[in-house]
Homo-oligomer: A and B are copies of this chain.
Amino acid sequence: MKNKLTVYNSKARKKEIFEPIHEGRVGMYVCGPTVYSEVHLGNVRTFVSFDIIYRYLLHLGYKVRYVRNITDVGHLTDGGEDKVSARAKLEQLEPMELVQKYSNMFHEMMAIFNTKSPSVEPRATGHLIEQIEMVKDILDNGFAYEQNGSVYFDTLKFNDKYKSYGQLSGRKIDELFSETRDDLKNQDEKHHPSDFAIWMKASDEHIMKWNSPWSVGFPGWHLECSVMSTKYLGKTFDIHGGGNDLKFPHHENEIAQNIGCTGVEPAKYWLHSNMLLMNGKKMSKSDGNTISPYELFTGDSPHVSKGYSPMVVKFFMLQSHYRSTMDLTDQALQAAEKGYSKLMEAAKALDKMQHPGNGNETENNKKLLTTIDNIISDMNDDFNTPKALAGVFELVNFINKLKDGHLKYSDITNEAFEKLKETFNQFVFDIFGLKDEVGSQEDGLFDGMAELLITIRNEARAKKDWATSDLIRDKLLEIGVQLKDGKDGTSWSRI
């Protein structure tokens, strides 16, 4: 039998067998974007990674409730200004107009990368009452204090009781002096530098604010996620995910808030995706070492030699494990483009192939079945997409050999062939979420017309009718179709 699904639990710092709290069901919360600007490529990587995890859990037959929030209030800049409000001022929009604009763009980008919509996509501003309730509960439990209309989480008191503050990120409370970046301006109101705001009093000029028992104010960013995960998944749920950069302070504080409110750990497994680098270095606007998704698609950037399609970029992402850093280079994207197109060609070929019905249990048959088993084992090993993808490419070799006649159908059983077909399609389309970028119906028309023109051209050449043969080549070139004469006949490609 194949191995069971294991996941690397960041909190336990080891791989653990995945056993959901309720049999057959999985609750998963992933911290979504703060919608104040275009989504970064690094964030896209995070959301694509968790989409593949979501898809794999669905593939395994779990009923998954996947919650990914939208942060539209409370996420502050280093200067203590609300990110949404600050940008709205710049763009001369109402904050919620800005939220609408960038939420739409985020959803478009997620669709471009062919990710599935989460089951629930709650907004922070949609859960004010629940947030106020949680602040009350934390205050009642003694793990928070009010100062001038703001409420702060008392990390020292929490740590005294639970001894666990800093456990996720591996930080010690004594060393945490001024690391919390989100409320430097209120440093003086806090009892300890590691304390953090769960409710903040708003200044007069602040736009996004609500009535609360403490002040007209707004919720702390960390609090929002605690509230929305609890509301839709319960006090304790299976998986909490997010980018590595959220481990501290965001996730650390989420855990403290949840325990401070309910007394129990929120998530059984904490999963963190790693960073996206470019040319070996951290992406950074100030260095110019950055590229947006659209720049990547159009090629309008000094970092790439040309544009790469979304599915090529996604293929490239699959080539790294979600917990490893991933290094974006032009060379790697070029290789991904070749790999992706090889994969799609194999998919099309496989679609037309049929086993004649009688085959033998040969060495090749055994090898094929082992390859399939390994793909599943690799994916079960903490969602190891690069290994599983390599396995899928071994299937591509089988497909191409069968197509070319280098492997005979009689050397594999009908059953193994069907398994090949099923596994290949499941992994490529359902689990990795790749798709053919040219619509198949249109494709059929192009293929048909191009093949017809090639046939006529071959006949013309046989008859030494160079006028017709040249007309076809030149006219096609004019509309962007290039013919290539090779030893296996003539092929065509779009330019």
Contact = CB atoms under 8 A, between A and B. Distances in A.
Interface of chain A: mostly helix, strand, loop or mixed: helix
Contact of A456 (B99, B232, B472): B472
Contact of A104 (B96, B117, B210, B471): B117
Interface string A83-114: 00000000001101101100010010000000
A456 B457 CA distance: 10
A452 interface: yes
Interface in A231-273: 232
A147 interface: no
Of the four ranges (under 10, 10 to 19, 20 to 34, 35 or more), the interface on chain A belongs to 35 or more
Interface stretch (A124-132, A155-163, A275-283, A296-304): A124-132
A445 B100 contact: no
A101 to B, nearest CB: 8
Contact of A94 (B120, B125, B471): B120
Contacts of A449: 446, 449-450, 453, 476, 479, 481
Interface in A49-104: 65, 93-94, 96-97, 99-100, 104
Interface in A112-167: 117-123, 125-126, 128-130, 133
A211 B104 CA distance: 31
A119 B104 contact: no
A472 B452 contact: yes
A356 interface: no
A188 interface: no
A494 B445 CA distance: 10
Contact of A96 (B122, B125, B133): B122
Q: Count this chain's copies in the assembly.
A: 2
A482 to B, nearest CB: 13
Contacts of A444: 479-480
A468 interface: yes
Contact of A97 (B93, B120, B456, B472): B120
A442 interface: yes
Nearest to A449: B449
A96 B65 CA distance: 11
Contact of A100 (B118, B128, B210, B478): B118
Residue with the greatest number of chain B CB neighbours at <10 A, chosen from A119, A211, A445, A478: A445
Interface in A449-487: 449-450, 452-453, 455-456, 459, 468, 471-472, 475-476, 478-481
7 contacts: A96-B122, A97-B120, A100-B118, A123-B126, A129-B211, A448-B479, A456-B471
8 nearest CB pairs, A to B: A448-B479, A126-B126, A449-B449, A96-B120, A452-B475, A97-B119, A129-B210, A128-B129
